[in-house]
Chain A
Amino acid sequence: MKLQGNELQINGIIASIDRDNIDTDQIIPTEYLKSIKKFGFEDYLFDGWRYLDDGKLGVTKDQRQINEKFVLNISPYDKATILLTRDNFGCGSSREHAVWALRDFGIKAVIASSFGDIFYNNCFKNGVLPIQLSKEQIEDLFKLSQDTIKEISVSLDAKKLSIGDIEYKFLVEDNLLERIIYGLDDVDITLQDKELIKDFESNRIKNKPWIFAND
């Protein structure tokens, strides 16, 4: 199963939200977690900031009161593929819906000075690249993307992003990156180690039987 094509390059417009601690409730409010689907969350991304009225699952963007001031409602940022923000992006709940909403909107990379742990993990399973830069670098990017609309380009294999004259390297573990590049499915990969898991389990049943007492 492929979630994403083999993209080695992400190009596009950068939209910035100048806030720390943007939590998963901001990225997608709880109302929309009622969906039992894995796709179709694009209209609900940043719902509380993007619209002036109260939304409901199933009510689409064209039926809503748009907040014209919010960056993702302003052309050309409504087509942004990269999001720039501050510290601790994606803190809060474990809901993968937050990443699904970013992905469905078309965001392919998020740049922040740090990320919530569970959110960070969820990103790689859905083809969204979290890029961690230093606070100084983030500050520079904010300055740079303030007045003029900036195109940014991210090279996945070179782990490098460029915007204007600036070029930053970033760190990300290869195995996580590969998941984005190849769209690998973890369940299939792990089941190749089926026998190892079985052996481990039989040992555990023998040595720690109380764990299995309710089975």
Chain B
Amino acid sequence: MPKTLYDKLWKEHHITTLNSGESLLYIDRHYLHEVTSPQAFEGLAKKDLTPWRLGANIATPDHNVPTERGDSFNMDSIDDEISKIQVVELDKNCNRFGIKQFDITSNNQGIVHVIGPELGYTLPGMTIVCGDSHTSTHGAFGCLAMGIGTSEVEHVLATQSLKVSKLKNMHVRFDGKPQSGVTSKDIVLYLIGKIGTAGGNGHAIEFSGSYIDSISMEARMTICNMAIEAGAKVGLIAPDKTTIEYIKEHSNLEDDLFNRAKDHWKTLVTDKDAAYDKEIHIDISAIKSQVTWGTSPEMVVDFDANIPNPDNAPEEKKKNIQLAKEYMGIGSAEKLTDLKFDKVFIGSCTNSRIEDLREAAQAVKGKHIADTILEAIVVPGSGMVKLQAEAEGLDKIFQNAGFIWRDPGCSMCLGMNPDQLKPYERCASTSNRNFEGRQGNLGRTHLMSPLMAALTAINGTVSNPS
């Protein structure tokens, strides 16, 4: 029977079907960070167990780390006592069990989903899990990658396997050429606006089409990263030439092993007549830059379109629209372009890779952020991205334009570290979630591409990127 890419990955990792009807899948790679692991390590120790396969695990602190660190920084320099405990705890657990960690002083520390691929730990065809929903990012390499809860983190540490039920197959085909100024972030936001944040629930989404073929690994990661925002635990893109070139550059596989692997990777494609449970086809050439106006990623419109009016909305949507508009302080503004922004955040596992920073830097080169912008920060996703950007002089471009150049971490993507919005501040953010309070209590988040965020810093408002 013809199989989808997801079916193939599932089969390749299938250990057994359990009495319960679920399957036990073998896990190739397990990423860990400081937030969702302490309780799992505690559980492991309580049962007197050790990690099943040490080498499968890679850890780094990212959520809690301050992003103004300087050279002599170490764990003890974290001011927030409670954040410090988590970072120290990760360090202790990694030392205790012998897990490889890129700690806070390492040049390779960064957001776990950024460092995994760039250090060559993410390889096509792997099953990859992490106690973090944006693990879907790694699906860009043709991996079966998904977020898991803390109990499952413990389970994977202890058994190198995961109990799961098979998802349904969904296919999203993006064809066409993007308009100027439209990026992969816009495309994925557009999709979420169309199918809703529950649109992919229970499904693995495979992305394909001429648009996907034409974009870089960075752009593909942005799309798979946000599959979870469309409700899908798993996002997938079949490995192709672009993937293999990336792996060649980033992994340290020896030639014969690489070549053997390559032959296998080429088989990781959906068979011609394989059937999906759901199919969506989008012509991307008509898509404009997307910006969210509300408190869910599905509350998104063209940057210059009207913000929905609850009076004209279908009955079941009215209340949610009203609540979101109130929270976001939209007032009488009709369009996003009418809103004044206070802060700009360029970063997060969605958009903190070198390509994102290049795009943003290009847009601010020789210009200066608007007087009304209180703060604009650029937070590279990893030590490697930071070094590369500095080598290209991007840090200087940003700084000359009035941006602050930071050290790697999740930063203002979520309010767990010192980078937070104050109540009612409006932020142009390249992250992935605009939930209430996500960037700080009562903060207002508008999701957009790095290019649009850069322009918002310069103009103080959302504007036409083309």
Q: A95-B36, A187-B159 are in contact. List 6 more A-B contacts (CB 8 A).
A: A25-B437, A26-B436, A92-B133, A115-B201, A117-B232, A194-B159
Indicate whether A88 sits within 8 Å of B159 (C-beta atoms), given known contacts A38-B39, A193-B16, A196-B16: no
CB distance from B203 to the nearest CB of A (A): 9
Q: Does B85 contact A (CB under 8 A)?
A: yes
A213 to B165, CA, bound (A): 29
Report the nearest B residue to A49, measured CB to CB.
B436
Specify which of B26, B133, B252 is in contact with A94 (CB 8 Å cutoff).
B133
Q: Are B123 and A211 in contact (CB under 8 A)?
A: yes
A-side contacts of B163, CB under 8 Å:
186, 190
Closest chain A CB from B144 CB (angstroms):
13
Residues on B with beta carbons closer than 8 Å to the beta carbon of A19: 319-320, 323
Select which of A29, A38, A115, A200 is within 8 A of B415 by beta carbon: A29
Bound: A13/B91 CA distance, A: 44
Partner of A193, one of B15, B36, B49, B258: B15
**B259's closest neighbor in chain A, by CB?**
A210
Identity of the chain B residue whose Cβ is nearest the Cβ of A125 in the assembled complex: B151
Q: Chain A: interface residue count, which band?
A: 35 or more
Given that A117-B231, A214-B121 are known contacts, is A36 also in contact with B151, CB under 8 Å in the complex?
Answer: no
Q: What chain B residues lie within 8 Å of A197 (beta carbons)?
A: 15, 24, 26, 52, 159-161
Asked if B198 and A208 sit within 8 Å, CB to CB, the answer is no
B305: Cβ under 8 A from any A Cβ: no
Also in contact, A215 and B436, with CB within 8 A (given A95-B35, A125-B149, A201-B26)? no
Q: How far is the CB of B149 from chain A (nearest CB, A)?
A: 4
Contact B296 A212 (CB under 8 A): no
Encode A182-197 as 1/0 by CB contact (under 8 A) with B: 0000111011011011
Asked if B435 and A23 make an inter-chain contact with CB atoms under 8 angstroms apart, the answer reads yes
A54-84: which residues lie under 8 A (CB-CB) from chain B?
Answer: 54, 57-58
A121 contacts partner chain B, Cβ-Cβ < 8 Å? yes
Which B76-101 residues sit within 8 Å CB-CB of chain A? 80, 82-83, 85-86, 89
Pair A93/B132 contact, Cβ less than 8 Å:
yes
Q: Which residues of A contact B65 (CB under 8 A)?
A: none
For the complex of A and B, the 4 pairs showing the least CB-CB separation, nearest first, are: A215-B55, A175-B20, A36-B38, A94-B147
* A-side contacts of B132, CB under 8 Å: 93-94
A144 at the interface (CB under 8 A from B): no
Is residue B371 within 8 Å, beta carbon to beta carbon, of the partner chain? no
What residues of A have a CB within 8 angstroms of the CB of B56 in the complex?
A: 215
B292 proximal to A (CB < 8 A): no
A134 contacts the other chain (CB 8 A) = no
Closest to B414 in A: A30
Q: Is B45 an interface residue (CB 8 A)?
A: no
By a CB distance below 8 angstroms, the chain B residues around A57 are: 82
Interface code B149-169, partner A: CB below 8 Å = 1, 0 otherwise?
A: 111101100111101010000
Q: How far is the CB of B454 from chain A (nearest CB, A)?
A: 26
Minimal beta-carbon separation of A142 from chain B (angstroms): 11
Task: Specify which chain A residues have a CB less than 8 angstroms from the CB of B131 in the assembled complex.
Answer: 94
Closest chain A CB from B87 CB (angstroms): 10
CB atoms of A208 and B264 under 8 A apart: yes
Whether B416 sits at the interface, judged by CB under 8 Å, is: yes
A38 touches B42 (CB 8 A): yes
Known A117-B231, A175-B21; contact A48-B123, beta-carbon cutoff 8 A: no
Which residues of A, 126-177, contact B by the 8 Å Cβ criterion? 126, 173-176
Q: Chain A residues near B264: list those with CB within 8 A.
A: 208
B residues 267-302 in Cβ contact with A at 8 Å: 296, 298
Q: How far is the CB of B434 from chain A (nearest CB, A)?
A: 10
| Interface residue? B64 (CB, 8 A) | yes
Asked, given contacts A95-B149, A210-B261, A211-B126, whether A117 binds B202 with beta carbons under 8 Å apart, the answer is yes
Q: Are B86 and A193 in contact (CB under 8 A)?
A: no
Nearest chain A CB to B342 CB, angstrom units: 18
Give the contacts of B100-137 with A (CB-CB under 8 A).
120-121, 123, 125-126, 131-133, 135
Contacts of A115 in B (CB 8 A): 201
| Complex: chain B residue closest to A186, CB-CB | B155
B29: min CB distance to chain A, Å? 8
